[in-house]
Amino acid sequence: MSTKTEHEGDRVIYHHFDNIWMKEAFGMSVERKDEIGKLYLEKVLRANGGTAQDFVNGSQEAYHNVGVTQGNGAPKADLKGFWEGVKKMFPDDYTQVDVDYLAGENDAYAAIAFILRLDPPPPSRMESPVLKRIGENGHIYK
């Protein structure tokens, strides 16, 4: 009889969420992807005030402000708020236990993996202008 290591358990959990994210991404509208991108800006990158909306609207100043945050390491992200927002968009796909797990490590990795799954690079093939700009900013300001 073998037992799973903690690492193997994490892989099983990751595959569980990756399957959910692939299902959600299939046929998702660009508008919904942009909405998730704005939520990511607000909750994970903490673009508060009008910065997130300005970023969505194409403001160069907002790109710079968000990019500086990305380059310096994001401030303490509101991962619980991010995953709660995602749960509201997809209420049948997430339980409160899922939200607590995804937000529990206070590590933005799952949020980043989620948005990359929704609209995978390269940028020339990305549909969402917001997710594309978030990705480009991440590379410019790193």
> Which pLDDT score is estimated for 3?
37
DSSP conformational letter for 48: T
Per-residue burial over 8-27, b = 16 or more CB atoms within 10 Å of its CB, e = otherwise: eeeeeeeeebeebbeebbee
Q: Is 9 within the bounds of a domain?
A: no
> Which pLDDT score is estimated for 121?
76
Q: Is 122 within the bounds of a domain?
A: yes
Output the CA–CA distances (angstroms, integers) from residue 8 to 2, 15, 16, 79, in the order listed. Answer: 12, 11, 13, 24
Residue 58: phi and psi, rounded to 5, are: 100, 20
Regions in the chain scoring below 70 on pLDDT: 1-11, 74-75, 105-106
Domain that holds residue 91: 31-140
Q: Is 71 within the bounds of a domain?
A: yes
Q: Is 105 within the bounds of a domain?
A: yes
Closest CA to 127 of 20, 23, 37: 37
> Which pLDDT score is estimated for 1?
37
d(CA 121, CA 14): 20
> Which pLDDT score is estimated for 4?
40
DSSP conformational letter for 106: -
Q: Output the six-digit token pair for 17.
A: 């969420």
> Which pLDDT score is estimated for 16?
85
> Which pLDDT score is estimated for 41?
95
In the chain, how many domains are there?
Answer: 1
> Which pLDDT score is estimated for 15?
83
> Which pLDDT score is estimated for 125?
82
Task: Work out the number of other CB atoms within 10 angstroms of the CB of residue 109.
Answer: 11
Residue 83: phi and psi, rounded to 5, are: -70, -30
